[in-house]
Chains A and B, each alone.
Chain A
Amino acid sequence: MSPLLEVEDLRVSFDTEDGVVHAVDGVSYQVDTGKTLGIVGESGSGKTVSSLTTLGLTRSRSTRISGRIVFGGRDLLTASTDELRRIRGSEIAMIFQDPLSSLHPFYKVGHQLVEAIRIHRDVSKSAARKRAMDLVELVGIPDPKRRVDQYPHEFSGGMRQRAMIAMALANEPKLLIADEPTTALDVTVQAQILALLQDLQDRLGMAIIIITHDLGVVAEITDEICVMYAGRIVEHASTDEIFDAPEHPYTWGLLTSIPRLDQQRGDDLVPISGRPPSLIQRPSGCFFHPRCPYVQKRHRTVDPPLVSLPDNGRHQVACLLEPTIRRQIWNGLKAGRDPTSLRQLAGDGYPSRAPAVASTAPRAETPEVPSSGTGGP
């Protein structure tokens, strides 16, 4: 049986005044019903663009899209705008990072839910309202009767995200895309929302794609993880493999920057030095080489393909380091050693230019998609 969603060699680029932005560059992944896929990467890695493209929200005169996105047997890239619109919010739903800005400030929460229901279903206002209250209750918001008549600003952060989830679930979608669903929330609330998503998946049996820059968030609930860098997938494996035996230096960086409960206070987190590359003027060779502590001369010219590990066909990585050397470095990192001390393991001793500002470089989330789907620049 074919997967629910199959993305194949997806390429998305935007024409801007500064040049062509290669936001997504040959990405492929699949999600099955009932499964959860995590897409992990920094801002600008193309993770959000790829999922917005799934919904058709990146279509515009200045966007070029190629590849295939097959959902339930239909290629969404060739679907008409109206077909896509009918899939959006009914078969595929999406929730976003900042629930306050994602809800319309001028409409009551109940109204926004009713709108989501009635756009796809021919039901009366009162029936839709009844369903809205059920949904509010389903996502664990107490006192739904009162809550539906409140405005988003009267909700707390976690409650707003629950409301967003309720809205996404309004038409029992087969696929839920959650874009940084917990980033704007307190840590305790984060856990609640993730638990809610897991619980809802168990009950409703939908597929979920969680997009995040924080591996720690997705550890508990994903089945598989794609790590994206500069518009490409650099590593793709089951969640367990990613955490136990990661193969890509970028994944290592992500993993070592997760705060752990067993970590001693005062120990510095090891962030990935440097900034994400420009998607207009991309680096030569391996896109990660300017930031890679283990870079070698030929990495600057050779672009590594995403290939399966020799011993594990379901674990793919795009890295030019020898598998054995990768394993040695990862073991060293696991043991708590500093990346610089492991650099000579990589070989020819071609020192990386360690960016001076690396550790303090701003990592603020910047919009990855140029404004909107149809009204982009």
Chain B
Amino acid sequence: MGRYIIRRLLWAVVVLIIVSAVTFIIFYALPSADPAVLRAGRSPNPALIAHIRHVLGLDRPIYVQYWLYIKGVLLHFNFGYSYQYSLPVRSLIFQRLPATISLTVGAVIVWLLLGIPVGIISAIRPRTWMDRMTMGVSLLAISAPVYWLGLVGLFLFANDIGVVHIFDGADTYTGLTANPGRWFGSLIMPWMVLAASFAAFYARLLRANLIETMSEDYIRTARAKGLPEWRVILKHGVRSAITPIVTVLGLDIGILMGGAVLTETVFDIPGVGRLAYDGIQNADLPIIQGTVMLGAFFIVIANLIVDILYAYLDPRVRYT
């Protein structure tokens, strides 16, 4: 196991290098705006642009730029300076990570608390009125674009622009340490909006898994043992059916830690996703690189954790 983890971690570094290279290539291959021109603001003065190009290192060959970037990351954990804000990307990201973590963790709790019971209830009462209703609602939740859902939520429930004033609206995010009460209040709606499609997806996934699991032979064995039905479902059925969900959950958390762009944007939460979005808007390569690398890092790590967890959850799985 130890060797497996080390091997995987080394592989993760390779993946991150590849990801950064691809980001670099995409940035230069696609017709995005010229960062130097954007930085200059508007000047028709070529000397200024040349100067900015030089300062940003844009006048060097792409492979040199890339090498300098990777060297900075590997040797100094330095992700460069934002073209736009002239601030170190590392500190920009760390400044914004707490908001993204708050959003993600809360949403994960919400969607698990919603998705798992709904999935179980639907699975053990398939084709009932209740099942059809929850699955119908969940299909809606999955299909609804997050951004749209966020806007609908704001226009219905936000205490500034809502029809009924219930929750804090957009642009109310407060740091946890600054004011825990307001932190919680400001995140209620973002959590629910972000969690909605996940909850629905998890409910449907769990339902499908559980229905399949409940026809397994070992469920019949459990019943033949004389276990009460709730125990058959929870201990024998759900225990198996939930294992694939843990895998998905790990990846989803990994992806969201890299930034929930749409939710952060619609609720104006100063998270990593929002930073990435602004970076793309401004052709701010260092920010794009940094946030993409962060996202890739979380996904790779989440993958590894999921694999390790999987071995723990399913004793048949062993890594060497």
A contacts B directly (C-beta below 8 A): yes
Residues of A within 8 A of B (CB): 52, 55, 57, 85-90, 93-94, 96-98, 101-106, 115-116, 119-120, 151, 153, 164, 167, 371-375
Looking at the complex, which one of B223, B225, B226, B315 makes contact with A373 (CB distance below 8 Å)?
A: B223
Q: Can you spell out 10 A-B residue pairs with CB atoms less than 8 angstroms apart?
A: A94-B224, A96-B221, A105-B240, A106-B239, A106-B315, A115-B225, A167-B225, A371-B215, A373-B220, A375-B214
CB of B316 within 8 A of CB of A151, answer: yes
CB of B217 within 8 A of CB of A101, answer: yes
Considering only residues 285-318 of chain B, those with a C-beta below 8 Å from chain A are 313-316
Looking at the complex, which one of B211, B225, B226, B316 makes contact with A105 (CB distance below 8 Å)?
A: B316
The contact size tier of chain B is 20 to 34
B125 to chain A, nearest CB (A): 9
A45 to chain B, nearest CB (A): 19
CB of A102 within 8 A of CB of B226, answer: no
Q: Which residue of A lies closest to B127 (CB)?
A: A377
When distances are taken between beta carbons in the complex, the residues of chain B under 8 Å from A101 are 216-218
Secondary structure of the B contact surface, majority rule: helix
Considering only residues 208-248 of chain B, those with a C-beta below 8 Å from chain A are 211, 214-229, 236, 239-240, 243
A374 to chain B, nearest CB (A): 6
CB of A372 within 8 A of CB of B220, answer: yes
CB of A119 within 8 A of CB of B225, answer: yes
- A-B contact sample (8 more), CB < 8 A, given A151-B315, A373-B220, A375-B126: A85-B228, A88-B223, A88-B225, A94-B224, A98-B217, A101-B218, A102-B218, A102-B221
CB of B220 within 8 A of CB of A96, answer: yes
Complex Cα distance, B213 from A101, in Å, reads 11
When distances are taken between beta carbons in the complex, the residues of chain B under 8 Å from A89 are 224-227
CB of B214 within 8 A of CB of A57, answer: no
Lowest 3 A-B CB distances belong to which pairs? A89-B226, A88-B226, A101-B217
When distances are taken between beta carbons in the complex, the residues of chain B under 8 Å from A85 are 226-228
Looking at the complex, which one of B124, B217, B218, B315 makes contact with A153 (CB distance below 8 Å)?
A: B315
Complex Cα distance, B223 from A167, in Å, reads 13
When distances are taken between beta carbons in the complex, the residues of chain B under 8 Å from A55 are 223-224
A105 to chain B, nearest CB (A): 6
Q: Which residue of A lies closest to B316 (CB)?
A: A153
